[in-house]
Every structure is written in C-alpha cells, then in structure tokens.
Amino acid sequence: MKNIKTKLGQAEFRNPVLGASGCTGYAYELESYTDLSRYGAVTLKTVTYTPRHGNHPERIAEVPAGIISSIGLQNPGPDVFFDDTMPKVIDALDRDQIIVSVAGDTIEEYVELCCRTSQRYGEKIAALEINAACPNVRFGVGYFSRDPQAAFDLIETVKSAVSLPVFFKFNTNFENYLEVASAIDEAGVDALYTSNTPLGLKINIRTRRPAIGNVVGPICGPAIRPIGMLRVWNLYQKVKMPIIASGGVYTWEDALEYMLAGAAAVGVGSAQFVQPDVVKHIVDGLERYMERESLDSLTSLVGAAHR
Amino acid sequence: MKNIKTKLGQAEFRNPVLGASGCTGYAYELESYTDLSRYGAVTLKTVTYTPRHGNHPERIAEVPAGIISSIGLQNPGPDVFFDDTMPKVIDALDRDQIIVSVAGDTIEEYVELCCRTSQRYGEKIAALEINAACPNVRFGVGYFSRDPQAAFDLIETVKSAVSLPVFFKFNTNFENYLEVASAIDEAGVDALYTSNTPLGLKINIRTRRPAIGNVVGPICGPAIRPIGMLRVWNLYQKVKMPIIASGGVYTWEDALEYMLAGAAAVGVGSAQFVQPDVVKHIVDGLERYMERESLDSLTSLVGAAHR
Amino acid sequence: MLAKLIEFRSVTERDALYVFDCPELARAASPGQIVELKINDCLDPFLRRPLSIFDVEGDTFSLLVRTVGRGTEYMTRWKPGVEVDVLGPLGKGFSWSEKEETFALVGGGVGMASLNFLARRLLEQGKQVHLLFSPKRDSQLLNALPQPERMDISFAENRTALPAALNALLAKGIDRVFCCGPDGLMEIVAKTSMANNIPCQLSMERHMACGIGICLGCAIAIRTEQGLTYKKACKDGPVFEAEEVSFHEEH
Amino acid sequence: MLAKLIEFRSVTERDALYVFDCPELARAASPGQIVELKINDCLDPFLRRPLSIFDVEGDTFSLLVRTVGRGTEYMTRWKPGVEVDVLGPLGKGFSWSEKEETFALVGGGVGMASLNFLARRLLEQGKQVHLLFSPKRDSQLLNALPQPERMDISFAENRTALPAALNALLAKGIDRVFCCGPDGLMEIVAKTSMANNIPCQLSMERHMACGIGICLGCAIAIRTEQGLTYKKACKDGPVFEAEEVSFHEEH
Ligand SMILES: Cc1cc2nc3c(=O)[nH]c(=O)nc-3n(C[C@H](O)[C@H](O)[C@H](O)COP(=O)(O)OP(=O)(O)OC[C@H]3O[C@@H](n4cnc5c(N)ncnc54)[C@H](O)[C@@H]3O)c2cc1C
Ligand SMILES: Cc1cc2nc3c(=O)[nH]c(=O)nc-3n(C[C@H](O)[C@H](O)[C@H](O)COP(=O)(O)OP(=O)(O)OC[C@H]3O[C@@H](n4cnc5c(N)ncnc54)[C@H](O)[C@@H]3O)c2cc1C
Ligand SMILES: Cc1cc2nc3c(=O)[nH]c(=O)nc-3n(C[C@H](O)[C@H](O)[C@H](O)COP(=O)(O)O)c2cc1C
Ligand SMILES: Cc1cc2nc3c(=O)[nH]c(=O)nc-3n(C[C@H](O)[C@H](O)[C@H](O)COP(=O)(O)O)c2cc1C
Ligand code: FES
Ligand code: FES
C-alpha cells in the first residue's frame, strides 16, 4: 500500500505538498480552480501583529522564469483575520490542512499572536508557522532569520507558550544561515521551512526606473530553484529537524528533486499564480511515480542524493 | 553623430558589449558563426599559472533559464597560451578587442602572469583582467573576492607592475562584496567586472545524484540577471570606477537595463552558447535604440535609473 | 480551460483582434471582466497576461491586444486552430442601473478594449451610448468595433483637449461615465465627471501575478472612511468607482 | 541557420524520425557529426540539444530522436512546415581508410542513430557493413533504417551477451569497428575490439552547453603520453579512437 502521508515533527499531513504562505491566499479563493482536498496543507497568508497596508505598487515584476514581488505583508491584522477570515478557511480546508503563519516585530508580538491563535483555533488547525522574515523594529528586516540567538529565543519562547506544532520559516539569504538553522534545531522546532528567495531588481527600460515601487524585492519561481536546492542540500547535512523547502517548485519532478536533496516536504508558491491547480498535479505526479517505482512511501527518498 | 565607443579607465573599446571569459573561447572559434569585429572586446578564457585539467564531468546542467557549470578553469597554462593560442587570437581580433584574463593562487603568481603577458603581448592587447574567483592555496576559493585587504594588495601590486589597463573580475556572492569593491576602487583599478553568479545545485532524478560531477557550481544565464542587477545597482552607489556587468545578458534590452542600473559596459557569457552571434545582435539593437531615441551616446544612460 | 483561436485580424500596425471559441467563458462573461492568458507552455514568459474581454458573441469571445512586449509579440505568431490556456472571466466588471439611459464611454488608446463589450450590452438594453476616444491619432483602433454606427463617436485630440471634450459631452445629459485607459487619462475623466456630479466607473490596470486574488500583487489604493487601503484590481476590480480610487496619495 | 521540418514519423513508442530540408547543412555533413537544435525561441529550455545526424539524402537531413525529457518531448509537437534554428554540421565524425573493406557497426539503443548515415556512406563506397544491435528488445528501432536489406544485421540480447556476439562477428574478419551507445556498452565494445587488435572508434556523449568548442563543458577524459587530459566531445569528437578514451580514471 503506497502511503504518501508526511510527518513533520508532531504534525502529520496527508501528503508532502504544501501551499506556501502568501501564494495560496486563504485557500478558499482557489475552490473553483482546484480540488483543495489534494493539498497536503496550506499556510495562510501571514498575519501580523497589527494590520498592514502593504507596499506601494507596482508590486510585481516578471523576470526570466520567475517574478520579483514586493507585497509588504499586506494583511488585515489579527482581529479581522480571526473573526472574518478563519471561519471561511475552516469551511474550505480540513483541520490537518491548515497552517497559520504569524509575524511580529518582537518576540512578545510573535508569542501573543501564537497564543491567540492557539486559544481560538488550536483545535482546528494543524500547525503554527513563524514567519521570521519580518522586519524587526530595532534590528531591521530579517533579524530573526540572521541572528542565531534571536532565532533560538524566539522559537524557545513560542514552543513553551503553545502546544501546537511550530514551523520556523526563514530566509537562507544570509551567509550564516546554517548557524541560524542549528540554533533553531536546538530550540526544538517541528520543522524548518526555507524560502530561498534572493533579493533582486528589475529596471523598466521604458520608464528607466525600477519596475517595483519598493525598488528591491525577493525573487521567486523556478529561476531560483537551483539556489534553494543547494541550501537545502547543505541544511540537510547540518540539522536533524525535517526541512520544508520552497523556491521554484512547479512540477512533481521539482518536488522530488528537493526531497532527494533532503526536504521532507515542499512548499509551492508562485507556480500557483500561473496554474492554480498545480498542487494537485504535483501530488498526482508523485503518486504515479511511487506506483511506477513500486515505492511504499517517499520517506526513503528524503536526502537520498547524499547517500 | 552617434558614438557607442566606451571608455573603461585607460582602456577604450568600440562598443560596450564584451564577450565574457570562459564563454567566448579564444574568439577565433566563433569566426564562422558571427562577425567578430562587432565585439567591443573579448576576454579570453582565463589562463592560470599552471595548466589545469579542469573538473570531472558532467560539467554542465541545464536549469530554468540558465545553466550550472563546473569547468574548473581548464586551460593549457601560460606556455601553450602564449606560444600557440595568442597568435591565433591576434589573427582573429583587433588590438583593442583583446583582454587577457589571468588567475593565480597567490599574488606573486598573478603578478608574474601579468608581467609575462605584458612583456610578450603588451602592444597587442587592450587590457588585463584579474580573475579573482580562483581558489587560493591557503585560504580557499574566492579569497581575493572576499577579503578586501587581499583584493587591495593584489590590485595595487599588479597595477604597479604593469602599465596595461587592469580590470578586476570578482564574484558578488559574498555578503561583503561592497567592501571588497571599495577596496578595489581605492587601489585604482580601471574597471570592476562583476560575475554575479550564485552557487547552485541540481539533482538528476533518474540517477538520484547531483547532476554535476563537482556537486555544486555557479549558476549563469538570464535566471540570475535580477540578482546581478541589484548588485550592480548597489555597487554603482558605492564606487566611482566603471562597472562591467555580467550575468544573464541575452538581448540589447538586458544590456540597456544593466547600463541604467549603473554598468558602463556588459559582459555576455552563456547566451553565446545558445546563439553564437548574440553579441552582434545586442550591439545592433543598442545602435537602433540610440537612433530611435536620438541619443548621441549611451554614457548619459549609465546609472540613469538612480536619478 | 482551453480556448481555440478561430480568427486573428490586424486592426492597426500594433493592435490585433483575437477571436476564440470557448463557450463556457463566453457565456459567463460580463462587460469589464478580464481573462488571464498563458502565452505558451514553458517558463518564459512566466506569468499569464491579463486582457480585457473586447467582445462576446455566442460561444466566442474576443480580445483587442496591443503588441508591446515579449508576451504580446509571441501572441501575434499564433495561428487559427491553436488552443490557448485561459482563466476567466475574472473580476468585477461595469455596473449601472436600469433607470440610467445615456452613457458616456471614454476610451484611451487600447484601453478602449473593455468598452466595446460594454457598449454591446448597453445597446442590447436600448441605452444610448456616446463613445469619446482619445488620442485622435489612435482612432484607427475603432476599426475593431463591430457596430460603430450604433454609437455616437467623438474624439479628443489628446489629453489636454480631453476635459473640454468630456465637459461638452456631459453637457448633453449623461447618466453615467465609464472609462478605461492609462492612469493619467482616467484621473482626468474621474475629476471631470465628479466635478459634474456624474457617477463614473474606471477600469484599472496593475501588473498582475495571479489574476485570481491570491497574491495581492495588483494593489489599487482606495479611499475609505478609515483612510487609504489597497484593493485587488483582479478581484475587487478591475472596475472601481471614480470617487474611491486614489491616484496619488501614499500612506 | 533554419531547417524546415518536412516529415515526422514515429518509429517506436518513444523514438521518432525527423526529416529537415536544409541544403547547406545536408551537403556539408559527414557521418558521426552532430547538430545543435534550438527547441523553441524562449529561455526554457535554455540550451540547444545535441543530436546525431541519422541520415542525409540530397538537400535533407534526418534525426532519430528518443523522447526522454522536456526538450525532446517538445519536439514531438512540431508539425511539418515548422522552421527550426539549427547549428551544424558540428564536430569530427567517423573515419576509415580506403583499403578497409569490412566494418562492424555496434549500436546501443538510440545510439544507433549516428551509425545509419555511416552505413550509407560505407555502402556507397561498396564496403561490407555488419550491424550488431543491442539490446534486442529495442530492435523496433531498426524500422528507421532506410536500407536494412543492404546490411548484415545481428543482435545481442543485452550487454552481458554483447562480448560473445561481438567476438563472433569479429571472427568473420572485420577491418574496423564503429560504436555508438551508452558509455557502459561502448566500454565493452572498446575492450573487445582492442583485445582482438581491431581498430575501433567510439561516438561519445556528454552534456553540452555550446556544441562549438567555446565552453569546455563536454569534457572527455583522454589518455595521452603526458597522462590524462580532457578533450571536447563537440569539437575534437564526438568520435574518438577507442584506445584514447578513458572511461574511469580520474586525475
Ligand atoms: C486588467 C487589465 C486589462 C488589460 N486589458 C488589455 C487589453 O484589453 N488589451 C491590451 O492590449 N492590453 C491590456 N492590458 C495590458 C496588458 O496586460 C499588457 O500590455 C501585457 O500584459 C503586456 O505583456 P507583454 O508580455 O507584451 O509585455 P511585457 O512588458 O514584456 O510584460 C512584462 C510584464 O509586465 C506586465 N505588464 C506590462 N504592461 C502592462 C500593463 N500595461 N498592465 C499590466 N501589466 C503589464 C505583463 O503582464 C508582464 O507580467 C490589460 C492589463 C490589465 C491589468
Ligand atoms: C554528441 C551527442 C549526440 C547525440 N545524439 C542523439 C541522437 O541521435 N538521438 C537521440 O535521441 N539522442 C541523442 N543524444 C542525446 C540527446 O542529446 C539527449 O537525449 C537530449 O539532449 C535530451 O534532451 P531533453 O530535453 O529531452 O532531456 P532533459 O533531460 O530535459 O535535458 C536536460 C539537459 O540534459 C542534457 N542531456 C540529457 N540527456 C543527455 C544525454 N544523454 N547526452 C547529452 N546530454 C543530455 C540535455 O541536452 C539538456 O541540456 C546525443 C547526445 C550527444 C551529446
Ligand atoms: C507574492 C508573494 C507573497 C508572499 N507572501 C508571503 C508571506 O506572507 N509569508 C511568507 O512566509 N512567505 C511569503 N512569500 C514567500 C513564499 O511563501 C515562498 O516561500 C516563496 O515565494 C518561494 O517559493 P516559490 O518560488 O514557489 O514562489 C510570498 C511570496 C510571494 C511571491
Ligand atoms: C562555462 C563557463 C566558463 C566560465 N569560465 C570563466 C573563466 O574562465 N574566467 C572568468 O573570469 N569567468 C568565467 N565564467 C564566468 C563568465 O565569464 C560570466 O561572468 C558568467 O557566466 C555570467 O554571465 P552569463 O550569465 O552571461 O553567463 C565562466 C562561465 C561559464 C558559464
Ligand atoms: S493579481 Fe494576484 S491578487 Fe490580483
Ligand atoms: S559543448 Fe561547449 S565546448 Fe563542447
């Protein structure tokens, strides 16, 4: 019997293909385009401690095999999120499919958001995701992604405050990403989620100005997959916790490639913009592959390229 | 009268579109595929202090909108280069089109290579290019690209040893690339040449092993252009010397985009693998653009997106 | 969803009309809505392209497309018979009330695309349609209109001449204004209409990644009682009320 | 250079024959040479694809292509009439001397592709051609051969059976062996031929970026008197002498 179920720390998912935060909306928007039950899970758009308008347009610029985006974490804040959004999410997804992503400017804000989520919806979601790419009021953007001690403190505090599984989503752009990952590993997170999106710039040659209102933004999409692949490869050799890899997953082959490099699961982001039912196709593809290769599970393939 | 001539420090070229080292062979191989006189210049494949066999195959892996390569600086070494290769190069290109790229493991090796080149061919070439991406025997790969002091010493020593224009080609992958660039700026180089190629990995899902013999290799091609664009943007704000940008240039629009970001000239690399006459097309395109926009020169556009 | 190209026709040197057979989409579409087309089946160009529905007739819909970049250039090479991957109809289109009788449609260049389908529906309901087009030098575009004789068509030489031309038109007694074109033109039309106290709807453009409301890439600054906020061009729009759109203010 | 596809024919479930009109290339080609095809005009797939010239007749050349990945899959969608961007003929092909009369051509799977054109030229010169094909289960591929009746064709069940089959063939008196197939098969053929003191040429495959000698991506390890060195499959090869190719040794 082939089994595509995927355990990430304390959390268990129906399959290893997850909708990535900010690229899957609140899932219910996709209901008429795909079969939502085929998602391993969906990480909802990050909710921040206070509502955020987001960045000035243009927010999207196409680049070869990818996009530069600059959304600025636009979201309605926790009150609207809990009262209006979550009920619709719960209608669209099963409990084991819902991951709530939170971000704050301080550890206290993160913890409060986690606690509120846990109190209100703890029974109805699968996990919490700490988006560590948020600007820190004192130390700037990505602080919790680049300071091992801050990352450790953040996770340790959150873990002791809630009993839900906790994922740590961070950006591997900083040279010390392996150190940060080690700190997280020690702090006892359920899974490490990598975004692997380097910063980029595009200039509009007609206006002769940056194409993005904010000038700079992270690059996502297949273009950056080989970068993500290398970082997952390196992380797999460094840490023990399961890795969720995002960055350019478009086909089942891409998902498999990340798993061979060491990812236990993958997050699918911008591919959904182009093909809203892409997650279903990836899961179908992985199942067909297991069939063809007579694999009972994909677990044995995780990190297999290292062996 | 439109004038597309390009001054880079002491060196002057017929146009700002250069064939990048390692992607243009020794130029004469391209004679039957394009009009070599349309190249602003060609940087020849890097010659190292001692001959190098290069890396074990496979050396090439295709990725979305680019490739991972791992050549390992294969070259026949200076004796064969000077005696057999250079005469053929001189037959194929004009003096102002020839840039010789050198690399050593120590400053002494660099200097000796520069002096030998200068003595033997000083009258017959336009410039020397210091490939700073070479492994250092003591401090590992990219030492001269990541240690500002080492970079400064290297350039200062070379500049005082030869009178030819000198370009410094370095990789912007290290977090301190702006510091390194500042050091070079002070050392008084004629131009800064950026390669902008992040490291990547691909796994062959059939063999379940890395696709490249060497596991890891730099990614080049359009996929990484937005990364290069941002780094050139940042460098332009930091340094005074002219910048030569490489990384994903394929069309005249790409060349123009780099110039708007701050590059005085561009290096065209892997695009030539796909379209051996691509440099001619880029130069034609820039000339047509100047015509259409009634521009006398492109100089006013260099860095224009900052203003 | 696949749509089969059944006709391709040049309208001007840089604009072309594409007619697709796609019953499901054609039947569901309403004026002002858009489609998102996949240009080819590889990763370059990466994103779909958002285009207004120019017309609907029976099982077919058409697009009026200006060739401006890689994607639209690629489209000009499509041959009838090709099947194209399309999402749609998407977004919220134009709206009006039964009581309103006379409409001014202001089109700026290829922005005119979304107004033709609107005109068709208005005419079907026996309404009166005035089309004001700017800039006049682009008027060859109107060759794409299937029923020009049923509208009253006038021109503004350019943007400078537009306020006067629109004022003249509004003076005839217009119940509602619809506009689609570049931001600068729409701002003029919004101001002029509001100054005349005539309701006005604008069809807004933003670079889009998804077209279906999941990326928040297509932000339009909207005035609300609580201050400025961003709405989605692809889902809350592309059509917005003129009063609510903020063309300049930042937060 | 553009080559126009004039015929497309399935040979097996996963192999197809493509015939192109391209006088310049066809006239210049010699057996063992390759072409580099651009799959489409966008950035994905990025690289050209190297393919052996399967045959040349008058102004046309043909390719026998196994569908294995994105690029070759894309090719199967080409319709006759399409114009494809091609570089070639590239590289150094097979060579033999006038005195040699009897040849063994050993093909492994679709590696057979480069041997058909060779067979044609040998037969034109009145030489005797023995084709040994492995593995037998792939023999449907031989349906692509235009003149099978003019060769003596035999089979090896698989790689294990190959040395015996080749020894039997060589025993008939063979002047030279040519081989094209997977590395593992070529190594066997090289060893067996050398053991019999019969000259042997191999057509080698490597991932290629440029195909024209400027990237050094297609390295083949070659034995020389000064030790191992790397040569370029695209320019110095793809055909090499069996003695010079090193299948295993690293530096
Ligand atoms: C709601 C909406 C409706 C539209 N309706 C029409 C129409 O009916 N007819 C028509 O000709 N054009 C229309 N456009 C503009 C059209 O989408 C762009 O011209 C087209 O995407 C350009 O693609 P390209 O590949 O040729 O150009 P490129 O410049 O190569 O495109 C690069 C990227 O920029 C985006 N982009 C470029 N220009 C625009 C633009 N003006 N607006 C939004 N995104 C842009 C592209 O979608 C792509 O992501 C509409 C745009 C929007 C947002
Ligand atoms: C000198 C030479 C001659 C060849 N002749 C033929 C022929 O006549 N018929 C035929 O069917 N095939 C031939 N091949 C193999 C053919 O080039 C590959 O099967 C093809 O490139 C695969 O492309 P893809 O996009 O379908 O596969 P993908 O796996 O998607 O290709 C990805 C990348 O890997 C490269 N690649 C994949 N497989 C190979 C391979 N076996 N050898 C070299 N590069 C590879 C591709 O060129 C591309 O760069 C030849 C290869 C070489 C080097
Ligand atoms: C438009 C956009 C919005 C995003 N918003 C968020 C977010 O709110 N929180 C988060 O953790 N990641 C966010 N991301 C990052 C994605 O979840 C994902 O990690 C990244 O895009 C890489 O995956 P991809 O290449 O498949 O798109 C966003 C990405 C994009 C493109
Ligand atoms: C196959 C290959 C070989 C290269 N060899 C060299 C080299 O010898 N010396 C050097 O300075 N750069 C070398 N480079 C880097 C290129 O010159 C260029 O900076 C880089 O590829 C980015 O440009 P591109 O994206 O246009 O390819 C090489 C790149 C490739 C792909
Ligand atoms: S384009 Fe994605 S939300 Fe509108
Ligand atoms: S493929 Fe580039 S040198 Fe052979």
Which CATH number fits the domain that encloses residue A251? Answer: 3.20.20.70
Give the pLDDT of residue B42.
98
**CA C150 to mean position of chain CA atoms:** 19
CA of D235 to the centre of ligand 6 (A): 7
For ligand 1, pick from C10, C13, C37, C51 the residue to mutate: most ligand atoms within 8 Å of CB: C51
Q: Give yes or no for A46 touching C (CB within 8 A).
A: no
Show the tokens assigned to A75: 């979201």
Determine whether the interchain pair C40/D45 forms a contact, defined as Cβ–Cβ distance below 8 Å.
Answer: no
For residue C206, report the distance from its CA to the centre of ligand 4, in Å: 37
Does B58 reach chain D within 8 Å, measured CB to CB? yes
| Interchain CB distance below 8 Å, D43 and C43 | yes
Is D117 a residue whose pLDDT tops 60?
A: yes
CA distances from A4 to A232, A286, A289 (A): 21, 9, 11
Mutate which: B174, B197, B208, B215, vs A, most A CBs within 10 A: B208
- Residue B181: both structure tokens together: 């660039």
The beta-carbon neighbor of D216 closest among B56, B64, B74 is B74
What three-state secondary structure class fits C19?
Answer: strand
Q: Which of B179, B201, B286 to mutate to test the interface with A (most CBs of A within 10 A)?
A: B201
**Band of pLDDT at residue C251, cut at 50, 70 and 90:** low
How does pLDDT run across A138-183, given as a tens digit for each residue? Answer: 566 677 888 999 999 999 999 999 999 999 999 899 999 999 999 9
Q: What is the pLDDT of residue B141?
A: 63
Q: How far is A216 from chain B (nearest CA, A)?
A: 7
pLDDT of residue A137: 54
Closest CA to D186 of D226, D149, D237: D237
* D99 touches B at CB < 8 Å: no
* Residue D161, number of CB atoms within 10 A of its CB: 14
- Mean pLDDT value of segment D202-228: 95
B64 at interface of C, judged by CB pairs closer than 8 A: yes
Any idea which ligand is nearest the CA of A217? 3
Within an 8 Å CB–CB cutoff, is residue A56 touching chain C?
A: yes
Does C219 have pLDDT greater than 60?
Answer: yes
Q: Give the domain D102-244 fold.
A: Rossmann fold (3.40.50)
pLDDT digits (tens, 9 = 90+) for A5-60: 999 999 999 999 999 999 999 999 999 999 999 999 999 999 999 999 999 999 99
Nearest-5° Cα angle at A118, A115 to A123 = 170
Whole-number pLDDT of residue A266: 98
Confidence check: pLDDT of D92 > 70:
yes
Give the Cα separation of C18 and C7 in Å (integer). Answer: 6
B65 contact C CB<8A: yes
Kindly give the distance from the C-alpha atom of residue B171 to the centroid of ligand 4, in angstroms, as a whole number: 11
Closest C-alpha among D157, D107, D24, D207 to residue D117: D107
Q: D168 is written with which tokens?
A: 């039997």
The per-residue pLDDT for D249 is 64
Judge whether B270 is closer than 8 Å to chain D, CB to CB. Answer: yes
Q: Please, what is the average pLDDT of chain C? A: 94
| pLDDT of C226 higher than 90 | no
Closest chain C CA to residue D77 = C41
Q: pLDDT digits over A29-42, tens only?
A: 999 999 999 999 99
- What ipTM was assigned to the predicted interfaces of this complex? 0.96
pLDDT at position B182, please? 96
Write down the mean pLDDT value for chain B: 95
Are residues D212 and B69, on separate chains, in Cβ contact within 8 Å? Answer: no
pLDDT for position B138: 59
Q: What is the pLDDT of residues A85-96, one digit of tens each?
A: 999 999 999 999
Gap from D43 CA to chain B (nearest CA, Å): 5
Residue B128: inside a domain, yes or no? yes
**Is any atom of ligand 4 closer than 6 Å to the C-beta of B172?**
no
Cα atoms in the 13 Å half-sphere on the side-chain side of D119: 27
Return d(Cα B271, Cα B178) in angstroms, integer: 27
pLDDT on residue A272: 98
Determine the Cα–Cα distance for residues A260 and A229; give it in Å rounded to an integer: 10
Residue A134 appears among annotated catalytic residues: yes
Q: Output the pLDDT for position D251.
A: 52
pLDDT at B2 over 80: no
Indicate if the pLDDT at residue B100 is higher than 70. yes
For a ligand 3 pocket test, name from C214, C216, C218 the mutation site with the most ligand atoms within 8 angstroms of its C-beta.
C216
Distance C156 CA to ligand 1 centre (A): 24
Is residue B149 predicted with pLDDT exceeding 90? yes
Is residue B59 situated within a structural domain?
no
Task: Tell me which fold the domain D2-90 belongs to.
Answer: Elongation Factor Tu (Ef-tu); domain 3 (2.40.30)
When pLDDT is cut at 50, 70 and 90, the band that residue B137 belongs to is low
What's the structural domain count of chain B?
1
- Distance from the CA of C48 to the center of ligand 1, in angstroms? 9
Spacing, Cα C143 to ligand 4 middle (Å): 51
CB-CB neighbors (< 8 A) of D208 in chain B:
60
**Would you kindly state where each structural domain of chain C is located, as residue ranges?**
2-90, 102-244
Minimum Cα–Cα distance from B64: chain A residue: A223
Is the pLDDT at A65 greater than 90? The verdict is yes
- The answer as to whether B242 is a domain residue is yes
- Which of the four pLDDT bands, split at 50, 70 and 90, describes residue A136? low
pLDDT bucket at C37, cuts 50 / 70 / 90: very high
Residue A90: per-residue pLDDT: 97
pLDDT over 70 at B110, yes or no: yes
Residue C33's pLDDT band, with cuts at 50, 70 and 90, is very high
SS3 C134: strand
Ligand 5 pocket check for C87: Cβ under 6 Å:
no
Mutate: best of A224, A274, A277, A281, partner C, most C CBs <10 A: A274
CA B217, B219, B225: angle at the middle one, nearest 5? 160
Tokens matching residue C62: 């058409």
Which pLDDT score is estimated for A234? 97
C41 contacts chain B (CB < 8 A): no
> CB under 6 Å to ligand 6: residues?
D 208-211, 213-218, 232-235
| pLDDT tens track for C40-60 | 999 999 999 999 999 999 999
C→D interface, C-beta within 8 Å = 40, 42-45, 74
Instruction: Give the pLDDT band of residue C118 (cuts 50, 70, 90).
Output: very high
CB pairs under 8 A between A and B: 105
Closest residue on chain A to B62 (Cα): A226
Q: What is the pLDDT of residue B140?
A: 63
Per residue in B254-268, pLDDT (tens digit) is 999 999 999 999 999
- Residue A133, domain member (yes or no): yes
Nearest atom in ligand 4 to D216's CA: 1
Report the candidate in B247, B243, B220, B224 with the shortest Cα–Cα distance to residue B303: B243
The domain containing residue A25 runs over which residues? Answer: 6-53+73-199+221-306
pLDDT at C250 over 80: no
**Is the minimum distance from the CB of C213 to ligand 5 under 6 angstroms?**
yes
To the nearest whole number, what is the mean pLDDT of chain D?
A: 94
Which residues face C53 on adjacent strands?
A: none
Strand partners, C34: C52, C90
Instruction: Give me ligand 6 centre to Cα B57, in Å.
Output: 12
Angstrom distances, CA of residue C122 to CA of C54, C88, C115, D207: 14, 22, 10, 61
Ligand 5 atom 3 nearest Cα: C213
Average pLDDT of the residues in C122-140: 93
Whether residue B165 lies inside any domain: the answer is yes
Catalytic residue, candidates B23, B114, B134, B220: B134
Inside any domain, residue B67? no
**Is residue B66 domain-resident?**
no
Inside any domain, residue B64: no
Identity of the amino acid at C84: V
Q: Is D45 in the pocket of ligand 2 (CB under 6 A)?
A: yes
Axis-axis angle for helices A177-187, A225-238 (nearest 10):
50
Query: What pLDDT, on a 0 to 100 scale, did the predictor assign at position C4?
Result: 97
- Contact between D219 and B29 using a beta-carbon 8 Å cutoff: no
Give yes or no for A274 touching D (CB within 8 A): no
What is the per-residue pLDDT for B163?
Answer: 95
Q: Does B209 touch chain A (CB under 8 A)?
A: yes
**Which residues in chain A are closer than 8 Å to C2, comparing Cβ atoms?**
none
Across the interface, of D206, D216, D235, the residue whose CB is closest to B58 is D206
